[in-house]
Amino acid sequence: MLEDPNMAHCVSWVPAAAGVFRFSSSNKDQVAALWGQRKGNKRPMTYQKMSRALRNYARSGEIFKVKKKLTYQFSHDTLLSLQCCHHLI
């Protein structure tokens, strides 16, 4: 979703900040529903469920919460693995 310009109204990279992304507060439920579809969930994903998943990713060290509302940063290792996978596509 971060690489899709059509999704910028929901989630986007923070300019001049490596690996930092932000969810739109007005479209966070839409992002959650789309993420649930992408993951193949049978039940609709809600923002509350997505928020729990984000906290789990933070506990595992894949992302970090940035001190701005709805803003996160990928860890260095996660960014490297995403770049690797992105080049393979």
CATH at residue 66: 1.10.10.10
pTM: 0.81
Q: Domain residues for 28?
A: 5-88
pLDDT of residue 16: 75
Q: Into how many domains does the chain fold?
A: 1
Mean pLDDT of the residues in the chain: 87
Q: What pLDDT is stored for residue 88 in this prediction?
A: 39
On the CB side of 36, how many CA atoms lie within 13 Å of its CA? 18
Strands (E), 1-89: 11-13, 20-23, 63-65, 71-74
